[in-house]
């Protein structure tokens, strides 16, 4: 049994991962083209004045200088020479980017030397010392060596502790154990460094990509530069089915690629030789070549597994006992479980319907009203009515949005006719977004669950339901994003007949949308009718907290807006509030685990710190609702397994339990007075 903990393996540093993915940009002439592009397409374009230019420069430097410790103070002084001409003079911009690339490669080379040096030295964790992971200022050369020496010691220590049996967790490890993990960590780290140092183009493209995103995000936080690969991943995020090997992975405490999850019913799951915890060593595809995963960045691993051209691969895994297993897997189409509607019947005081919608997905034929999440929801609503439910819970918590027209169509399932939102952009002006079809798919009592992570299309739907008095919104104030984005090819001419392969894109803010009343939830979010005692997430980041978010005023409403009679919101809020005076502790708040700024490198103190963090994150006793839960439709295989997982989560979520009580109150209050 291993000692488990939740933080601190700092493989997010730029040189080890590709949190900024490589782009295929051959020269820096595209920099000026970004400004021309955004001047043409962005809803609120900006001029390149000094303050904006300084912001872009700082954004570029801070992102490449990940954790504030990759470059030194002396490096920054060398780059400062180009500050006045950067983004103003094309030649100076190119020279500055070339200099940053040279300095980046020099730092990688010095880190490789440092890793090799540490691998040859004795490492001890007996002395009291600390690794400060987030330095306040740029480091001198001497401070830089000290920082990275402690950084690598920390990675060795975390690998040692992660592999201790819990029974031995308080005993200082043997020198043999420490030396073994020192060698492993240093070898893997050096391997990834050498891999990156082999290609100057990889470094140049990473820096260019970072600059492009620094520019686009200075216009607003939702305007982003996409490579063709990132575009593919974006489309995966709003699609309900994908071809996949069915393997989810993580980089574990030893820096290895570990199988974190096997999708039930997927190829890896069906093969029956793999298990969670197996280590991915290598892959070989006749279509895209081979890969040594020990030396590969997270981006490269992800690209290998999800590349559309890689339909069949031979994988070598290492089992926990050290045995290596080689298998061949072929991709198959499996539901993208995180993107699919899930419907259940909650049978307690009354029979209630519960629908979980994780994203507003669409089909490839996004114009087809019979496909996509709105059509899927319509079919589920028909089945629920046949099942005799007396009320409905629609859960769009943690739903960050997706296709806006799917949200418009979905609102129309609950509203007979009218304008569900209003859009405005620089091309079509102000346009009402109307329910495309008259009639209702469901006219019964409705409660919609939201939280701080419900954003964009989720907020459009919640706002329409609220403004029409069609249902009760419960939970926490939503994210506060009321801007619209389109993904537009970057270097593609509109006169071209086809979009070229490996095309880059810019996801561009092209407009805003408003509530049917003409007001906007931009920055403020949708405020629930009934709030819970504790927010679901502690100190969440919302739209109003993000630099360069757009500010939007109200507009005069357009279209047809005829709300229903008001619901008994005050009574429902009072009833829920009285119940929750005694039950407030049940509303557990999730804390983001941000790790520690000062990490102990003494073995005993480090283990104590981990145990304290585990205790603080363990939470209270697990709650379980008293209602019975069953899926609307009984299915086998992957869907059946996923339903069982979600059913367990639903039954232990106190917020859902309280929402059933609010819905029961609404049903009771809606009965005609005799």
pLDDT of residue 561: 94
Residue with the bigger pLDDT between 190 and 589: it is 190
Could you tell me how far CA 260 lies from the centroid of its own chain?
17
Which segment of 6-15, 37-46, 604-613, 624-633 scores lowest on mean pLDDT? Answer: 6-15
Q: Which of 308, 335, 362 is the last residue of a domain?
A: 335
Mean pLDDT of 276-285: 86
Q: Which of 229, 257, 292 is the last residue of a domain?
A: 229
Secondary structure of residue 86 in the 3-state scheme:
coil
- Report if residue 572 sits inside a domain: no
Look up the CATH number of the domain holding residue 283.
2.30.42.10
Mean pLDDT of 140-152: 95
| Angstrom distance (rounded) from CA 506 to CA 220 | 12
Residues 306 and 346 grouped into a single domain: no
For residue range 366-420, list pLDDT tens digits in order: 556 667 899 999 999 999 999 999 999 999 999 999 889 999 999 999 999 899 9
pLDDT of residue 254: 63
For residues 229-247, one letter each, b for 16 or more C-beta atoms within 10 angstroms of the residue's C-beta and e for the rest, the string is: bbbeeeeeebbbebebbbb
Which segment of 240-249, 317-326, 391-400, 535-544 scores lowest on mean pLDDT? Answer: 240-249
DSSP 481: -
For residue range 123-142, list pLDDT tens digits in order: 999 999 999 988 889 999 99
Q: Which of 204, 229, 254 is the last residue of a domain?
A: 229
Secondary structure of residue 367 in the 3-state scheme:
coil
DSSP 25: -
Distances (CA, A) of 302 to 261, 291, 345, 444: 14, 11, 37, 44
Residues 412 and 267 grouped into a single domain: no
Mean pLDDT of 148-171: 83
- Report if residue 246 sits inside a domain: yes
Judge contact between 303 and 229, C-beta under 8 A. yes
Residues 291 and 418 grouped into a single domain: no
Structure tokens at 516: 């049917």
Terminal CA-to-CA distance of the chain, rounded, Å?
64
Residues 304 and 445 grouped into a single domain: no
Secondary structure of residue 639 in the 3-state scheme:
helix
Structure tokens at 387: 């099942």
Using the predicted structure, report yes or no on whether residue 10 has a pLDDT greater than 90. Answer: no
- Report if residue 589 sits inside a domain: no
- Report if residue 507 sits inside a domain: no
Could you tell me how far CA 669 lies from the centroid of its own chain?
39
Structure tokens at 169: 């967790």
Residues 198 and 312 grouped into a single domain: no
Residues 99 and 162 grouped into a single domain: yes
Using the predicted structure, report yes or no on whether residue 635 has a pLDDT greater than 60. Answer: no
Using the predicted structure, report yes or no on whether residue 579 has a pLDDT greater than 60. Answer: yes
Residues 48 and 175 grouped into a single domain: yes
Secondary structure of residue 164 in the 3-state scheme:
coil
Angle, in degrees to the nearest 10, between helices 90-120 and 200-216 = 120
Percent of the chain with pLDDT over 70: 84
Using the predicted structure, report yes or no on whether residue 478 has a pLDDT greater than 90. Answer: yes
Q: Look at the chain and report how many structural domains it folds into.
A: 3
pLDDT of residue 159: 86
Residues 221 and 249 grouped into a single domain: no
Mean predicted lDDT score pLDDT of the chain:
83
* DSSP track, 499-565: PPTT--EEEEEEEEEE-TTS---TTT-PPPSEE-SS-SBSS---GGGSTTPPP-------S-----P
Which is it for the CA torsion 262, 268, 270, 271, positive or negative?
Answer: negative
List the domain range (segments joined by +) for residue 93. 30-229
pLDDT of residue 169: 66
Burial of 376 by CB count in 10 Å (0-12 exposed, 13-18 middle, 19+ buried)?
A: buried
CA dihedral 631, 635, 639, 643 (to 10 degrees): 20
Residues 71 and 201 grouped into a single domain: yes
pLDDT of residue 492: 56
Residues 152 and 259 grouped into a single domain: no
Using the predicted structure, report yes or no on whether residue 600 has a pLDDT greater than 70. Answer: yes
Confidence of residue 496 (pLDDT cuts 50, 70, 90): low
pLDDT of residue 214: 93
- Report if residue 576 sits inside a domain: no
For residue range 161-184, list pLDDT tens digits in order: 887 776 566 789 999 999 998 998
Q: Which residues contact 77 (CB under 8 A, 6 or more apart)?
A: none
For residue range 199-229, list pLDDT tens digits in order: 777 788 888 888 999 999 999 999 998 876 6
Using the predicted structure, report yes or no on whether residue 246 has a pLDDT greater than 90. Answer: no
pLDDT of residue 290: 84
Percent of the chain with pLDDT over 90: 47
Mean pLDDT of 330-357: 83
Structure tokens at 304: 């290998």
Residues 315 and 419 grouped into a single domain: no
For residue range 90-110, list pLDDT tens digits in order: 888 889 999 999 999 999 999
Dihedral pair phi/psi, residue 150, rounded to 5°: -70, -35
DSSP 221: T
Secondary structure of residue 87 in the 3-state scheme:
coil
For residue range 22-66, list pLDDT tens digits in order: 333 445 777 888 998 999 999 999 988 888 999 999 999 998 987
Using the predicted structure, report yes or no on whether residue 518 has a pLDDT greater than 80. Answer: yes
Using the predicted structure, report yes or no on whether residue 358 has a pLDDT greater than 80. Answer: yes
Mean pLDDT of 314-322: 84
- Report if residue 369 sits inside a domain: yes
Residues 369 and 245 grouped into a single domain: no
Write out 92-131 in H/E/C secondary structure.
HHHHHHHHHHHHHHHHHHHHHHHHHHHHHCCCCCCCCCEE
| Angstrom distance (rounded) from CA 411 to CA 434 | 9
pLDDT of residue 323: 83
Using the predicted structure, report yes or no on whether residue 262 has a pLDDT greater than 70. Answer: yes
Could you tell me how far CA 575 lies from the centroid of its own chain?
35
Look up the CATH number of the domain holding residue 458.
3.90.226.10
For residue range 650-670, list pLDDT tens digits in order: 999 999 999 999 999 999 998
Confidence of residue 435 (pLDDT cuts 50, 70, 90): confident
| Angstrom distance (rounded) from CA 175 to CA 183 | 12
- Report if residue 66 sits inside a domain: yes
Residue with the bigger pLDDT between 4 and 468: it is 468
- Report if residue 674 sits inside a domain: no
Confidence of residue 616 (pLDDT cuts 50, 70, 90): low
pLDDT of residue 25: 40
pLDDT of residue 5: 28
């Amino acid at each position: 049994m291993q000692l488990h903990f939740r933080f601190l393996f700092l493989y997010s540093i730029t040189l080890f991962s590709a949190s900024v993915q490589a782009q295929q940009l051959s020269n820096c002439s595209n920099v000026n083209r970004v400004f021309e592009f955004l001047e043409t397409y962005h809803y609120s374009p900006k001029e390149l004045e000094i303050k904006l230019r300084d912001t872009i420069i700082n954004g570029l430097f801070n992102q490449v200088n990940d954790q504030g410790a990759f470059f030194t103070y002396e490096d920054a002084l060398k780059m400062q020479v180009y500050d006045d001409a950067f983004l103003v003079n094309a030649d100076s911009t190119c020279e500055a980017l070339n200099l940053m690339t040279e300095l980046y490669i020099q730092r990688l080379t010095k880190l490789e030397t440092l890793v090799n040096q540490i691998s040859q030295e004795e490492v001890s964790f007996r002395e009291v010392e600390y690794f400060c992971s987030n330095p306040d200022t740029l480091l001198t050369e001497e401070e830089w060596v000290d920082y990275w020496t402690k950084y690598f010691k920390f990675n060795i220590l975390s690998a040692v502790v992660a592999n201790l049996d819990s029974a031995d967790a308080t005993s200082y490890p043997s020198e043999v154990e420490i030396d073994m993990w020192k060698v492993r960590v240093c070898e893997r780290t050096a391997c990834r460094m050498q891999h990156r140092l082999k290609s100057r183009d990889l470094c140049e493209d990473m820096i260019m990509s970072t600059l492009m995103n620094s520019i686009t995000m200075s216009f607003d936080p939702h305007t982003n530069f996409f490579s063709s690969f990132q575009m593919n991943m974006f489309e995966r995020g709003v699609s309900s089915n994908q071809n996949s090997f069915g393997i989810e992975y993580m980089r574990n405490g030893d820096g290895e690629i570990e199988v974190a999850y096997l999708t039930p019913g997927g190829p890896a799951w069906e093969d029956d030789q793999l298990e969670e915890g197996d280590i991915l060593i290598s892959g070989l595809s006749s279509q895209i070549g081979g890969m040594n995963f020990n030396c590969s960045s997270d981006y490269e691993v992800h690209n290998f597994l999800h590349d559309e051209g890689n339909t069949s691969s031979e994988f070598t895994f290492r089992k926990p006992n050290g045995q290596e297993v080689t298998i061949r897997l072929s991709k198959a189409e499996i539901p993208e479980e995180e993107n699919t509607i899930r419907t259940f019947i909650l049978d307690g005081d009354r029979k209630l319907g519960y629908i979980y919608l994780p994203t507003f997905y669409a089909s490839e034929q996004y114009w087809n009203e019979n496909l996509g999440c709105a059509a899927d929801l319509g079919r589920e609503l028909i089945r629920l009515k046949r099942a005799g439910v007396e009320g409905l819970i629609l859960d769009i918590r943690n739903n960050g949005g997706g296709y806006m027209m799917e949200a418009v169509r979905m609102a129309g399932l609950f509203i007979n006719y009218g304008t569900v939102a209003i859009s405005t952009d620089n091309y079509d002006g102000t346009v009402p977004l109307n329910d495309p079809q008259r009639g209702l798919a469901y006219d019964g009592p409705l409660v919609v669950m939201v939280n701080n992570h419900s954003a964009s299309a989720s907020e459009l739907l919640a706002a329409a339901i609220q403004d029409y008095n069609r249902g009760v919104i419960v939970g926490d104030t939503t994210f506060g994003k009321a801007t619209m984005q389109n993904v537009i090819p970057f270097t593609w001419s509109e006169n071209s007949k086809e979009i070229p392969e490996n095309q880059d894109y810019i996801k561009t803010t092209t407009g805003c949308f408003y509530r049917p009343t003409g007001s906007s939830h931009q920055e403020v979010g949708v405020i629930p009718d009934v709030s819970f005692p504790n927010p679901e997430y502690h100190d969440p980041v919302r739209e109003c907290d993000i630099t360069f978010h757009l500010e939007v005023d109200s507009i005069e409403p357009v279209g047809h807006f005829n709300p229903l009679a008001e619901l008994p919101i005050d009574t429902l809020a009072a009833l829920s509030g009285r119940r929750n005076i005694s039950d407030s502790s049940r509303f557990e708040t999730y804390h983001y685990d941000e790790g520690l700024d000062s990490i102990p490198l003494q073995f005993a103190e480090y283990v104590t710190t981990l145990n304290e963090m585990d205790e603080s994150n363990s939470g209270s006793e697990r709650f379980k609702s008293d209602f019975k839960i069953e899926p609307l439709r009984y299915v086998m295989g992957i869907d059946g397994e996923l339903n069982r997982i979600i059913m367990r989560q639903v039954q232990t979520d106190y917020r859902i339990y309280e929402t059933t009580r609010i819905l029961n109150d609404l049903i009771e209050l809606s009965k005609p007075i005799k």
